[in-house]
Amino acid sequence: MQHCLFSNHSLQSLPLADAKVQYLANWLDNETADSLLHLFQRELNWSEAEIKIFGKMIKIPRLQAWYGDAGTNYTYSGVTMTSLPWHDELHKLKAKCEHQCGSSFNSVLANLYRHGQDSMGMHSDNEAELGIEPVIASVSLGEVRNFDFKHKISGEKFRLPLEHGSLLIMSAETQKHWQHGIAKTKKQVKPRINFTFRKILR
């Protein structure tokens, strides 16, 4: 069982049945979060990825980039992404997540939500290469966007706004029992970057 090391950030456990989800607001101080937002927006290799739906290639509504150790490829909605070698600052952020969570990661999915019409559909991060009960560390930068959870059987819902500089850790049976996603919003919103650090089993 994975758990978080003691820290002086206020750690909030979400009241979700059959799951373990912890949230740390202000995990990064504001100044660090601001500078990382701008750095990653400029320096990562963002692309308009496509997924296969009923055999057709469709552009996803956000920009994406996949970084990791050599050989950490990821198959997602019928498309295999080959990892790019780590960007230095991203590798440092990975180390900070590892220290916080007491788990190791070897890759990260980066998503850039350019505006309110960018989104991510409801899904579970339950691909075989993540193994059972994966620990996923999610760092958010920029505009606050709502993270929605939905229980696969009971339909129970829970919404958590993910703030600038926050860390969300999903572990234990969370992916087995819950889906999550980022809904579109009609509000005028600024860009948001999210990183989900993962361990791909090879």
Ligand X SMILES: O=C(O)CCC(=O)C(=O)O
List of residues contacting Fe ion (CB under 5 A):
125
We find the least distance from the C-beta atom of residue 170 to Fe ion, in angstroms, to be 8
Q: Which is nearer to ligand X, 86 or 195 (CB)?
A: 195
Q: Which of 109, 130, 137, 169 binds ligand X (CB under 6 A)?
A: 109
162 lines the binding site for ligand X (CB under 6 A): yes
111 lines the binding site for ligand X (CB under 6 A): yes
We find the least distance from the C-beta atom of residue 6 to ligand X, in angstroms, to be 25
We find the least distance from the C-beta atom of residue 69 to Fe ion, in angstroms, to be 20
Q: Which of 83, 100, 166, 194 binds ligand X (CB under 6 A)?
A: 194
Helix axes 88-101, 30-43, angle to 10 degrees: 140
Q: Which is nearer to Fe ion, 125 or 148 (CB)?
A: 125
Residue 156 vs residues 15, 18, 45, 148: alpha-carbon distances, Å: 11, 11, 37, 11
DSSP assignment of 139-185: EEEES-EEEEEEETTT--EEEEEE-TTEEEEEETTHHHHEEEEE---
The answer to whether the CB of 132 falls within 8 A of the CB of 33 is no
We find the least distance from the C-beta atom of residue 2 to ligand X, in angstroms, to be 18
Q: Around 54, how many Cα atoms within 13 Å sit in the side-chain half-sphere? A: 0
We find the least distance from the C-beta atom of residue 16 to ligand X, in angstroms, to be 15
Q: Which does 182 bind (CB under 5 to 8 A by kind): Fe ion, ligand X, none?
A: ligand X
DSSP H helical segments within the chain, as ranges? 30-43, 88-101, 174-177
Q: What span, in angstroms and rounded, lies between the C-alpha atoms of 43 and 67? A: 13
Q: In one letter, which amino acid is 152?
A: K
Q: Which is nearer to Fe ion, 40 or 147 (CB)?
A: 147
Name the burial class of residue 189, with classes exposed (0-12), middle (13-18) and buried (19+) by CB atoms within 10 angstroms of its CB. middle
Q: Which is nearer to ligand X, 8 or 65 (CB)?
A: 65
Q: Which does 40 bind (CB under 5 to 8 A by kind): Fe ion, ligand X, none?
A: none
What is the total residue count of the chain? 202
We find the least distance from the C-beta atom of residue 175 to Fe ion, in angstroms, to be 8
Residues contributing to the site for ligand X (CB under 6 A): 109, 111, 120, 125, 138, 147, 162, 180, 182, 194, 196
